[in-house]
Amino acid sequence: MPADGVVDRLAQLTLFADLRWPELEAVAHTFDEEVFGAGQRVLRQGISGGAFYVILEGEVAVVIDGNERSRLGRGDYFGEISALTGGVPVADIRAETLLRCLSLPGPQLEPFLLEHPTVMFRMLQAEARRLRDSNRWE
Amino acid sequence: MSAPDAGPSPPGDYEVVVVGSGPGGLQTSYCLARLGVRHAVVSADDGPGGMFRRFPLFERLISWTHSSADVPLHSREFEAHDQNSLVADEPHLRAFVPAQLAEGRRRPAREEMAAALAQFAERAQLPVRYGARWTATRRDEDGRLLLETDAGEYRCRAAVFAVGMTEPWVPRIPGLGLEHHYVNVERTSGRYRDRRVVIVGKRNSAFEVGEAVVRQGIRELTLVSPRPPDLGRLARSPLRPWYLTPYDEHVRGAPGRYVLNASVERVERVEDGYRVHTLDPTRPEPLVLEADDVVAATGFQAPLRDLPELGVATVLDGRLPALTPLFESVTAPGLFFAGNVTQAAQGLRKHGVASVSGMVCGFRYNARIVARHLAESLTGMTLERPAVEPARIVPYLLSELDRAPELAMQKGYLARVLSVSEHGVRDEGILPLEVFVDGEHDGVAATLEFDADEEIRPVLYVRRRGILREAVLPSHPLRRYEALAYREALDGLLRPLLET
């Protein structure tokens, strides 16, 4: 059961921007809170059974085959691709600072999104943006 | 005037100071002593037992101690049959709980646990200084830790806090206070007869107190909290068979037995009772529960005192310290934890499965890991890592998967690890799986895990030339892994590693 303060923090994240207070509270109680030290790994490339994470505080590096590809920070999330496709993570996620996250075991993401379609829409928007940016001709 | 340094663990300089004389503190002290690490143990209590001097309030424990097994009572393998005794290398210090257990019981009562712990502390001659409450902590200019206690000041290079999750915690809900907490529930028989009781919470203590008041003949019982009971995990929940009467009656539609998933907005005091205002996000209207009594079964927190000021990052509103896989604060080096606080180190949490470090059967092994780590990192001692002959590797790993109590108890958290280098194959011992997986050395880690369908599976992690591979093996109906199919699977997985 995450802390009371977590609800306030959730309310500020784009992903959950459409939710009302009791819904936010339910979200806070559905997810687990996890804290990692700088350098600790959160998700591991090629290892099954991962979770979906939303960053409340701190920064992570996305590392593929040992090479850092990008950074994610507050309000960003990761692990959704393996959770949605049933595959294994394609990257290591490594905490670069003290990292506070909410997590949901992979198989629970689908029922969660079906219960919260506005969150699903926000996620779809973000995925669409990522796809657009990765297809942009330089 | 008595001499201030009389008795065990007098104030002074030590390599390690252990705080607490519950199962976590005693197990840590035992393991440090075995390794020859000079340490002190301080405890606020006047005798051993820790939380089992007080909890659980109503029911027996939810962990098993078998009275009959296919292995000898004082063997290592028996530990899987007895989740409640502390562990030791010497047979005469093993399995104290079975001897305490009343005839016909399979789960100990609080008093039986406390007696077994007292026996362990005495027979292992652990140097506990009782009546020495830890009051403050700071660092000196050399980075050493200073612990102030009622008995005087202790200096050390590392401290291990085995202080339990023992301080009542109540969330910030208007009208709900410490006076409603589980610890303050009156135990007088018949106190709740004919009453309407609302319990805030749906975890161990909520179901425990629910079961206890149901037996007293209450009129109405409602358990309420936002998170649904963890039914998906029920297959491996130790709660299921013992505490779940209120839930069982709720799902079968018994009048006056309710388990609600709703947030509690406020608790209103009315003339002869309470109104509990709740909100279920899936319903348009708030739901108001009328009650004669309200119980906050909202859990506990670790009494961390001033440790956050020393830089200890916390999780869950400061209720637990955030920990590395070796049970050290992620932000404050040298501050270690033992006992049920080690549940804060979550490991890989594959498929959402947490460790069982909140229970004796989990944290008794964590203490051994902390002690070994401290022995090597503080005293420069190198622990023995026995060589394993190539022909013995597969049979050894299979027998560990079959019988190692550490793997059977701490599924997905602890693993048997072998390293492979130009010096050959070495047994690194039982380690947190995360230490091997996130490390760099070539080798293999063997563990047992729950899969997404809650089946218990042997899993091997093999790192060869820096590349890690996970192999999830099939389950076995009797959980016996020495069968030919597993032997062949391990042969195939390990052959390339051993050829390098």
Is the pLDDT at B492 greater than 60? The verdict is yes
Element holding B152 (H helix, E strand): strand B152-161
Evaluate whether B442 touches B341 at the Cβ level (below 8 Å).
no
Is the pLDDT at A3 greater than 70? The verdict is no
Evaluate whether B66 touches B81 at the Cβ level (below 8 Å).
yes
Q: Per-residue confidence at B148, pLDDT binned at 50, 70, 90?
A: very high
* Residue, of B241 and B448, whose pLDDT is higher: B448
CA–CA distance, B386 with B425 (Å, rounded to integer): 9
> Helix B23-34 to helix B110-123 angle, to the nearest 10 degrees?
20
Is the pLDDT at A70 greater than 90? The verdict is yes
CA–CA distance, A37 with B438 (Å, rounded to integer): 14
- In this prediction, residue B234 carries a pLDDT of 53
Residue B352: phi, psi to the nearest 5?
A: 80, 5
B478 burial type by CB count under 10 A (0-12 exposed, 13-18 middle, 19+ buried): exposed
Element holding A132 (H helix, E strand): helix A117-135
Give B232 to chain A, closest Cα distance, Å. 10
Is the pLDDT at B64 greater than 80? The verdict is yes
In Å, what is the CA distance from B258 to each residue of B227, B243, B287? 14, 15, 13
In Å, what is the CA distance from B382 to each residue of B373, B374, B377, B386, B424? 10, 11, 9, 12, 17
- In this prediction, residue A26 carries a pLDDT of 82
Residue range A49-66: mean pLDDT, rounded: 96
Chain centroid to Cα A4, Å, comes to 20
Evaluate whether B267 touches B274 at the Cβ level (below 8 Å).
yes
Is the pLDDT at B464 greater than 60? The verdict is yes
Alpha helices in B124-239 (DSSP H): 204-215
* Residue, of B398 and B237, whose pLDDT is higher: B398
Least confident of B12-16, B66-70, B465-469: B66-70
CA–CA distance, A40 with A38 (Å, rounded to integer): 6
Q: Per-residue confidence at B5, pLDDT binned at 50, 70, 90?
A: low
- In this prediction, residue B230 carries a pLDDT of 63
- In this prediction, residue B152 carries a pLDDT of 96
Evaluate whether B165 touches B342 at the Cβ level (below 8 Å).
no
Closest by Cβ to A46, choosing from B279, B449, B468: B468
Mean pLDDT of chain B: 92
CA–CA distance, B470 with B463 (Å, rounded to integer): 9
The per-residue pLDDT for range A46-57, each reduced to its tens digit, is 999 999 999 999
Chain B residues within 8 A (CB-CB) of chain A?
171-172, 225-227, 232, 261, 263, 279-281, 299, 313-319, 322, 324, 330-331, 346, 348-352, 434, 437-438, 449, 451-452, 468-470, 472
**Could you say which DSSP state residue B479 is in?**
-
Q: Contacts of residue A23 in chain B, CB cutoff 8 Å?
A: 281
CA–CA distance, B470 with A47 (Å, rounded to integer): 6
A105 pairs with which residues across the strands? A51
CA–CA distance, B413 with B336 (Å, rounded to integer): 18
Q: How many CB atoms lie within 10 A of CB B383?
A: 11
Residue A16: phi, psi to the nearest 5?
A: -110, 15
Closest by Cβ to A44, choosing from B331, B437, B452: B437
Q: Is B380 left (phi over 0), alpha (psi -120 to 50) or beta?
A: left
Is the pLDDT at A1 greater than 80? The verdict is no
The per-residue pLDDT for range B65-102, each reduced to its tens digit, is 998 899 999 999 999 999 999 999 999 999 999 999 98
Show the tokens assigned to B329.
């604060």
Diameter over CA atoms, chain B: 79
- In this prediction, residue B237 carries a pLDDT of 63
Residue A48 to residue B313, Cβ atoms within 8 A: no
| Chain A residue with Cα closest to B225 | A29
Is the pLDDT at B131 greater than 90? The verdict is yes
Mean pLDDT of chain A: 90
Least confident of A111-115, B203-207, B309-313, B480-484: B203-207
CA–CA distance, B166 with B164 (Å, rounded to integer): 5
CA–CA distance, B5 with B321 (Å, rounded to integer): 32
- In this prediction, residue B232 carries a pLDDT of 55
The per-residue pLDDT for range A4-36, each reduced to its tens digit, is 578 888 888 999 989 987 788 888 888 999 999
Best mutation target, A10, A31, A43, A48, to test chain B (most B CBs within 10 A): A48
The per-residue pLDDT for range B291-344, each reduced to its tens digit, is 999 999 999 999 999 999 999 999 988 999 999 999 999 999 999 999 999 999
Those residues whose C-beta lies under 8 Å from the C-beta of residue B486, and which sit 6 or more positions away, are: B398, B401, B458, B473, B476
Q: What percent of chain B has pLDDT over 70?
A: 96
Diameter over CA atoms, chain A: 46
Amino acid, single-letter form, for residue B183: V
- In this prediction, residue A89 carries a pLDDT of 95
- In this prediction, residue B211 carries a pLDDT of 84
Helix, strand, coil shares, percent, chain A, to 5:
40, 30, 30
Q: Is B424 left (phi over 0), alpha (psi -120 to 50) or beta?
A: left
Give A131 to chain B, closest Cα distance, Å. 28
Nearest to B67 by CA among B82, B54, B45, B83: B82
CA–CA distance, B408 with B166 (Å, rounded to integer): 27
Evaluate whether B391 touches B429 at the Cβ level (below 8 Å).
no
**Could you say which DSSP state residue B8 is in?**
S
Those residues whose C-beta lies under 8 Å from the C-beta of residue B225, and which sit 6 or more positions away, are: A1, A29, B200, B201, B202, B206, B261, B262, B263, B264
DSSP character string of B229-264: P-GGGGGG-TTHHHH-HHHHHHHTT-TTEEEEE-EE
- In this prediction, residue B199 carries a pLDDT of 95
The per-residue pLDDT for range B213-257, each reduced to its tens digit, is 888 889 999 999 887 776 655 555 666 666 677 888 888 999 999
Evaluate whether B404 touches B416 at the Cβ level (below 8 Å).
yes
For B86, the 3-state DSSP assignment is coil
Is the pLDDT at B49 greater than 60? The verdict is yes
Q: Contacts of residue A44 in chain B, CB cutoff 8 Å?
A: 348, 437-438, 468
Give B263 to chain A, closest Cα distance, Å. 7
Q: Is the dihedral angle over the CA atoms B439, B441, B447, B449 positive or is it negative?
A: positive
Closest by Cβ to B322, choosing from A37, A107, A108: A37
In Å, what is the CA distance from B172 to each residue of A125, B12, B120, B267? 35, 41, 40, 11
Is the pLDDT at B468 greater than 70? The verdict is yes
- In this prediction, residue B380 carries a pLDDT of 87
Q: Per-residue confidence at B1, pLDDT binned at 50, 70, 90?
A: very low
The per-residue pLDDT for range B272-297, each reduced to its tens digit, is 899 999 998 788 899 999 999 999 99
